[in-house]
């Protein structure tokens, strides 16, 4: 008497039933399932320099922020070739994250869409700053030239934030 073999001549691994009586054999993992392409692009940053002869005098920067709104005073000393005002973008930043922006300006032209302020030479503009996030511990005041993105002013140290 010969023993009866319990093994199949063909293994049933990886077979899925499809509509009808058709079977689909997967066959294992493909290269497309094993490799996920990741592309990292790092562009060199350009150093932006402010236009020559353009100096901002910034006053009334608080030593500690305890309110979501505060004011700063900005005076433009010098101008480019005697032209009119200079468009600046004041913002509040922590590390590389913007957490506040200009909300209003007195004695200057304020654009509510771009949050930019046009400062006239020799005039002192009072700019109201609005802190949009209260979960930050410290921040810096940054004023950039809206056209070139060059930093015209940056607070010399971090300003602590204690908003309740």
What is the mean pLDDT of the segment spanning 91-96? 91
Q: Are 102 and 129 in contact (CB under 8 A)?
A: yes
**Quick one: CA dihedral 9, 11, 17, 18, positive or negative?**
negative
Map out the domains of the chain with their CATH numbers: 55-160 (2.60.40.10)
Return the number of other C-beta atoms located less than 10 Å from residue 136's C-beta: 19
Would you state the pLDDT for residue 42?
78
Q: Which residue spans within the chain are E strands per DSSP?
A: 15-17, 23-25, 55-59, 69-77, 86-94, 97-106, 109-111, 116-119, 124-131, 138-145, 151-154, 159-160
Model pTM?
A: 0.67
3-state SS assignment for residue 85: coil
pLDDT tens-digit map of 46-57: 555 555 557 889
Residue 158 scores a pLDDT above 80: yes
pLDDT tens digits for range 11-28 = 555 555 556 555 555 667
């Amino acid at each position: 008497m010969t023993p009866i073999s319990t093994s199949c001549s063909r293994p049933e691994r990886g077979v899925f039933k499809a509509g009808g009586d058709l079977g689909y054999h997967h066959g294992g993992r493909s290269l497309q399932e094993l490799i996920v392409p990741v592309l990292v692009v790092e562009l060199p940053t350009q150093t932006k320099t402010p236009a020559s002869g353009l100096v901002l005098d910034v006053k009334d920067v608080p030593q500690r922020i305890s309110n979501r709104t505060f004011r700063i005073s900005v005076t433009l000393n010098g101008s480019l070739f005697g032209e009119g005002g200079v468009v600046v973008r004041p913002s509040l930043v922590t590390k590389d994250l913007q957490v506040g922006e200009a909300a209003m300006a007195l004695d200057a032209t304020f654009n509510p869409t771009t949050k930019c302020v046009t400062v006239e030479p020799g005039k002192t503009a009072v700019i109201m700053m609005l802190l949009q996030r209260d979960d930050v511990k410290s921040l810096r005041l940054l004023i950039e030239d809206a056209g070139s993105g060059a930093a015209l002013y940056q607070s010399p140290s971090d300003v602590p934030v204690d908003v309740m």
